[in-house]
A and B are shown apart, each in its own frame.
Chain A
Amino acid sequence: MATIRLNVNGIVHEKEMDPNMPLLWVLRDILGLTGTKFGCGIAQCGACTVLVDGQAVRSCSMGVQSAMDKNIETIEGVEATPFRSLQQAWIDQQVPQCGYCQSGQLMNAIGFLKSNPNPTDEAILNAMSGNICRCGTYPRILKAIKSVVEQSSKNNGI
């Protein structure tokens, strides 16, 4: 056991925990931030995607220790950022069905758009191909991301 300090959505948490526990389970079971989902545990599905220092990572496969003192962003924090436009695009395009994969889809899309604000369709498909959706919402995910890209290029930024 060790004392771990985490900065999640701008709030600092300090707790005793198993330092080897993946960030996913710390978020869900210890901090109660259940918006981040468990899908596979082996970095294959993207359901657990969060941002660590602005980069999309699979929280199921990152030990909590390596996230210490970094800036962690989860789905619960998105509304307070400019990327709420992506959440709105998800509503406008009626993307989710069951919704289980969608926290991960959104976080992955945010991480991607941060690094590539003006992507081609192919780049979007590539970047999103690590995120599985069993309900088959893919065509709408693509549409929603494209709509945000179009909007942001008109507005010079998200």
Chain B
Amino acid sequence: MKTMNSRRDFLKRTGLASGGLVIGLNFLQSCVNEVVNIPKNAAPLVDLENGFQAQGALSVTDFLQIRPDGSVFLSLTKYEMGQGVSTGLSSILAEELEADWEKINIKYIKSSVSESDITGGSTSTLLHWDLLRKAGAFAKYLLIEAAAKEWTVYEDQCYAENGHIHQHGSTVKLGYGELVEKVVVPESYQTLFDEVPLKYQSKFKLIGKSLKSKIIPDIVTGKHPFSIDVRLPNMKYAAVLRCPVFKGKLLSFDASDALRIPGVEKVVKVDGVILDAATHIRDGVAVIANSTWAAFQGKLAVKAEWDLGENAKMEHQKFVADCLEQLDSNRGTEILRIGKKINTSEMDQIISYTYEFPYQHHACMEPLNATSHFKGDSCEMWVGTQSADKIIANIEKHLGIPKENIKINCHPSGGGFGLRYSSEYAVESMVVSKAAGGDLVKMCYSREDDIKFDYLNPFELNKHTVGIKDGRPLFWDFKNVMANWGGLLGWMYYDIPNCSGTQITVDGFTQVGAWRSVMANAEGFSTECFIDEVAHELNRDPLEFRLSLLPRNKMVDFKHSYKCNINRLRGALELVAKKAKWGKSMPEDSAQGIAVYPYMHGNGYGAVVAEVSIANNEIKVTKITASIDCGLVINPDQVRQQMEGGVIWALSAIFHGGTEYANGVVKRSNFHDNPVLRINEIPEIEVHICENDETRPWGVGEIAGPPTYAAVCNAIFAATGKRIRKLPIKKSVLAL
């Protein structure tokens, strides 16, 4: 059996004792570059330093395995956090492999160096589309060759179906499991992989079907392997008392009470680590115990003295006021310029409003946790992460362990939503293991920790201004203030001859991170509320006005990963308007609102019509109709699932989101004061998927949020006459 270790070796076959056929990958994403094509100067997905640029190499030694019993195992190089990648990605593989769907299994990877890929931006499916198709087709090709040799017939007399190779015109067949030991990988496997014929899309049998999830059977029996459920021999439990203020310092601590708690074994100091401007591992005190409960109790009993530092002086209101002041300053970087500068005095009318999108909590149902074992010059971790690469890089940098000695066992998570794109909690658990003298520790955040030390969605202000000449917008200017994050996307999809955009980044007083749909939340909310305001001021129907600014057959270049396809954007808008019967007569005190948004990280387009009613001064969202154009649909039911979830995510942020600070400390702490939407608050939700001519799948998971905020707020305006320019809102109309 031949093993090739050179990095240039695209594919390799390795032997496992009774392992069957094992195909590994070791490549530089060359087969997906044609779609990704991220320009060097593009706005990075999340993080300038560690963003897209970091996703260089991907190497998985047992990417695809077909075992002698016929079972197929796919190593999940994307992270499962509820968005459905395990099912979606394996159906792409199964399609080309002509595998028996029931025999496809998922493997969570054990990653040394670089086996997992960054997961974010609604890009998992689109980035792995070519790779999985080729891998499946490649394996199928080898199996057909093996069968042909076995039967001494030509390959074209054989075909693959449902996990077997058959002979045309005969009932003879061989199962994949029976063939795997007979497969020979040719010397020219690289060329074969590159040129292997793929199926005609019209022949797809699995793609486009609502196949059932691969992970749900384990979920409903309690067996799904979340990282919080890890149990290892000699494992201890850890809880950390962290400095309540960002960048504060630990002066001293007294652990005597903590050590009296039954089960508490050690109390150790955690030295903070500065990772970048927005993310620090905080100074703290870790309690090591024989159960999570004892560790939590011990943490509550530790007395610590802090130097809270400058950020303790920060009051929320003052921060917002400072940001507003910045907005009116001349500071900032121009990130968008279309057409020319327009003299505002020549306009018939200037319309200008500012919109505030607050800090937002993730509150993933699985609190942050990671299990770490520091062993001096090597280490091992068990964690759910959107970014194993970042964890490895930070451990190497800050704990001095060479990256080839760092092993990450990737687990699925109870929600990610961008939070687990941050690597700090994971690195922190390794710092704790080190501080505890190399104990193997499962560090778990309490819910209070998870809320107070959340990597929040950054606070954003967006000011939009248009100049109207002869009833049409002649220029559009937008200006953005954002804390600790470089973020203005400047996706100007409306056809306005002169546009400009300026970004002002301010120092925030707290840590921030990625939050489902990232900057598109604030920009989608503000742009789509603003265009609605302009339509009303010009006495135009909000749908008709939008369509008039979306000329057909246009591709707009945002200097981002993909060009914005106005036909697809229009398609989403027209479909939702039709399905929701836009403009239908509504009962008294009820109204509709509409919005559309392109989510360009994933090249998916969404539109929403919201219906609200007002009774006893209380706002109720009664119905959401949503549409999505996500290109080629892999699994319609999963698309609907993600859209439903995204709508509910946004409604939660509208009515319950935001956060409050006092003296630099997050005031919220748990679900009683950081409420999220509950089952008795949901409207009827209807999802429609656009038919389209795309031959590739595009993003799904983050499409619903941005248009939902705006459609709901626009509907509230239509029902009450009150404009919403700041989230969250109270349900009482009187409070608007």
Residues of A within 8 A of B (CB): 1, 18, 21-22, 25, 28-30, 32-42, 44-45, 47, 74-76, 78-79, 87, 90-91, 94-103, 106, 125-126, 128-142
Contacts and interface: CB of A to CB of B under 8 A. Distances in A.
A120 B671 CA distance: 27
A135 B224 contact: no
Interface string B54-89: 000000000000000000000000000111100000
B220 A136 contact: no
A106 B229 CA distance: 18
18 contacts: A18-B262, A30-B291, A34-B229, A41-B446, A41-B447, A87-B221, A90-B216, A94-B213, A97-B82, A99-B216, A125-B679, A134-B417, A134-B649, A135-B365, A135-B415, A138-B679, A139-B644, A140-B644
B231 A99 contact: no
A136 B366 contact: no
Given A44-B671, A132-B676, A133-B365, A94 B263 contact: no
A113 to B, nearest CB: 15
B263 A98 contact: no
A119 to B, nearest CB: 13
Interface string B439-454: 0000010110000000
Given A91-B216, A98-B414, A132-B676, A25 B292 contact: yes
A47 B219 CA distance: 13
A83 to B, nearest CB: 11
Nearest to B442: A29
B82 A98 contact: yes
A41 to B, nearest CB: 6
A76 B367 CA distance: 21
A99 B679 contact: no
Nearest to B684: A139
Contacts of A132: 365, 671, 676, 678
Interface of B: 81-84, 210, 212-213, 215-224, 226, 228-229, 231, 237, 262-263, 291-294, 296, 363-367, 412-417, 444, 446-447, 637-638, 641-642, 644-649, 670-672, 676-680, 682, 685
A40 B219 contact: no
A133 B219 CA distance: 14
A134 B262 contact: no
A134 B644 CA distance: 12
B263 A18 contact: yes
A94 B641 contact: yes
Nearest to B220: A87
A126 B680 contact: yes
Nearest to B671: A44
B294 A100 contact: no
The interface centre, meaning the residue of B223, B294, B366, B637 with most chain A CB atoms within 10 A of its CB, is B366
A9 to B, nearest CB: 11
Contacts of A130: 678
A41 B218 CA distance: 24
Contacts of B677: 136, 138
A129 B680 CA distance: 6
A132 B637 CA distance: 22
A128 to B, nearest CB: 5
B508 to A, nearest CB: 24
Given A37-B365, A37-B366, A96 B219 contact: yes
A50 B559 CA distance: 52
A136 B293 contact: no
A138 B648 contact: yes
A79 B567 CA distance: 49
A30 B294 CA distance: 12
Contacts of B226: 34, 37, 100
A51 to B, nearest CB: 13
Nearest to B364: A134
Contacts of A22: 293
Main secondary structure of the interface of B (DSSP, over half): loop
Nearest to B643: A136
B447 to A, nearest CB: 4
B293 A37 contact: no
Nearest to B637: A94
A34 B231 contact: yes
Given A29-B292, A96-B220, A141-B679, A136 B649 contact: yes
B215 A38 contact: no
B682 A98 contact: no
B642 to A, nearest CB: 8
Contacts of A139: 644, 682, 685
B367 A75 contact: no
Contacts of A131: 679
Given A1-B262, A90-B220, A134 B363 contact: yes
A25 B679 contact: no
B222 A36 contact: yes
Contacts of A137: 641, 644-645
A91 B432 CA distance: 39
A94 to B, nearest CB: 6
Contacts of A134: 363-365, 415, 417, 649, 676
B216 A45 contact: no
A79 to B, nearest CB: 6
A99 B414 contact: yes
B415 A40 contact: no
A64 B670 CA distance: 23
Contacts of A106: 220
B703 to A, nearest CB: 14
Given A35-B222, A42-B670, A87-B221, 5 more contacts: A38-B367, A39-B365, A44-B670, A97-B83, A100-B366
B367 A39 contact: yes
Contacts of B223: 35
B650 to A, nearest CB: 9
Contact of A136 (B219, B229, B444, B647): B647
B11 to A, nearest CB: 32
A123 to B, nearest CB: 11
A75 B365 contact: no
B212 A101 contact: no
Contacts of B638: 94
A33 B231 CA distance: 10
A134 B228 CA distance: 17
Contact of A42 (B231, B417, B642, B672): B672
Given A99-B414, A128-B679, A91 B366 contact: no
A127 to B, nearest CB: 9
B222 to A, nearest CB: 2
A44 B220 CA distance: 21
B216 A96 contact: yes
A94 B213 CA distance: 7
Contact of B215 (A33, A37, A99, A103): A99
Given A42-B447, A98-B415, A78 B221 contact: yes
A39 B447 contact: yes
A25 B638 CA distance: 34
A81 to B, nearest CB: 12
A98 B412 contact: yes
Nearest to B648: A136
The interface centre, meaning the residue of B642, B645, B648 with most chain A CB atoms within 10 A of its CB, is B645
Nearest to B635: A94
A32 B365 contact: no
Nearest to A39: B365
